[in-house]
Amino acid sequence: MATLKLKLRNESDNSNIYVYYSISQKIRLWRKTGFVINFKDWNADKEQSRLRDNESKKLNIRLAELKIHLERCFNNAVSDGTEFTGDWLQNNIDAFNNKSPVVDLDVLTNYIQKYIDDAPFKQNQKKELGLSAGRVQNLKLFKNTVIKYEAEKTKCKSILIKEINLQFVEKYKMWMFEKGYSTNYVGKNIANIRTICLDASKNDIETSTQIRNFKGVSETREAEDIITLNEQEQNEIKKAKITREALLNARKWLLLGCLIGQRAGDLLNITEANIKELGTAKIIELKQQKTGKLVAIPLLPEALEVLKDGFPYKISLSRFNEYIKDVCQLAGIDKPTRARIKEKEGTPHKKDIFPKWQVISSHVCRRSFATNFYGRIPTPLLMSITAHGTERMFLSYIGKTTYENALQMLDYFSRLSSDTKPNNSTEID
């Protein structure tokens, strides 16, 4: 015969009152009622509060009503042939408390996974179907970070989407900063929270009314935090004695990247088929993954020199990042450099001074191109190659200020004025 009891499972000032439902020898279920009590005030024999104040009387009435409700649910379940599980018990307790039952997609990590699974059918920034591989990877890292937060801050209790409000975002943000995550990574996580919550709202998942007020954070890097390879360093890399084939190949990609200014994902997908003839010159033509823009980049003599004995073979981004550190180390690129590094994606940064080769990554290609050619090529032309949306973004990317840009323009107009100034000398016959 089934037995229903109300019990405490620990002794504390705020002990949870549990339902213990013994259905059979094999089926014994425990679930929280949603009510708490000081264990000293609990009468285990009567399964109610010992106190006789108004609040305690209300609690005892609710507990008695809950038992009646669950016994009725049990009888209905027997008639319907329903399977008795923990979820069955929890759903009926929630119904008694006028609480909507939690479904899989109410859980934040579950919904993130759904969003990842639906990535091929989501609209991307180019208004096309399918999220990029980079975007999917970012979402996977985001999910892992949420799991770490749950492990440390909620004792592994799953975060429900409806619980995500401004207060939660602030707590999550402060935890990330305490763990040493970069400002930009924190900002990406907040943006992801907003994206997930908005998508959940469209699918009738209960969400906070504060979603649209979630604000991200970003940082403007100081010039010394921006890692580039100047022309002298690139020459040292060219001259370095390297015998290992994988490193020779990585060196080609690195030097080519510094001369064509593309993101690593686009750079490492270039093949000889992307090289086109334009009159007497050669260009690289490609469609950028992130922007969807078709760009044509002139191959400078230095780039043609890199490619004179063959095009580099395909390499993965992770290997490229690994090998170019080795290349730069062999080339003696070891100037003490202040930077933030992380051992792997999605882990906190460590800011310190390192030998420069140790902080080199694929980002150095595009940033070196933009920095080295700034002031030599008109900024709009540079931006058309690097695919920066605004001049402000471009200047921030290379660590320049608007004042430095103004000085560059003054210098340009000064030289232009000198070149076009009329000759005031008078010829004498």
- How would you label 270-285 residue by residue, b for 16+ Cβ within 10 Å and e otherwise? beeebeeeeeeeebbe
The percent of residues in the chain predicted with pLDDT above 70, rounded, is: 86
Taking the C-alpha atoms of residue 370 and residue 268, their distance in angstroms, rounded to an integer, is 18
Tens digits of residue pLDDT in 93-106:
988 988 766 668 89
- CATH architecture for segment(s) 226-388: Orthogonal Bundle (1.10)
CA 338 to chain centre: 24
Tens digits of residue pLDDT in 42-62:
999 999 999 989 999 999 999
Q: What is the pLDDT of residue 415?
A: 55
Q: Which residue has the tokens 């549990």?
A: 18
Contact 164, 207 (CB under 8 A): yes
Q: What are phi and psi of 341, to 5 degrees?
A: -130, 160
Of residues 370 and 328, more confidence is placed in 328
SS3 161: helix
Tens digits of residue pLDDT in 74-91:
999 888 888 999 989 988
The enclosing H or E element of 229 equals none
- Give residue limits of the domains in the chain: 3-96, 104-213, 226-388
Tens digits of residue pLDDT in 119-157:
999 988 777 888 888 899 999 999 999 999 999 998 888
What average pLDDT does the structure give for the chain?
86
Is the pTM here over 0.85, yes or no?
no
Taking the C-alpha atoms of residue 88 and residue 150, their distance in angstroms, rounded to an integer, is 25
Q: What is the pLDDT of residue 404?
A: 52
Taking the C-alpha atoms of residue 326 and residue 427, their distance in angstroms, rounded to an integer, is 65
- The band of 184, judged by pLDDT with boundaries at 50, 70 and 90, is confident
pLDDT reading at 220 higher than 50 = yes
* Phi-psi group of 414: left, alpha or beta (phi > 0 → left; psi -120 to 50 → alpha; rest → beta): alpha
- What number is the average pLDDT over the span 213-227? 68
**Interacting residues of 245 by C-beta distance below 8 A, sequence separation 6+:** none
Of residues 353 and 387, more confidence is placed in 353
pLDDT reading at 201 higher than 90 = yes
Structure tokens at 106: 């109410």
Taking the C-alpha atoms of residue 321 and residue 327, their distance in angstroms, rounded to an integer, is 10
Of residues 132 and 356, more confidence is placed in 356
pLDDT reading at 413 higher than 80 = no
- The band of 343, judged by pLDDT with boundaries at 50, 70 and 90, is low
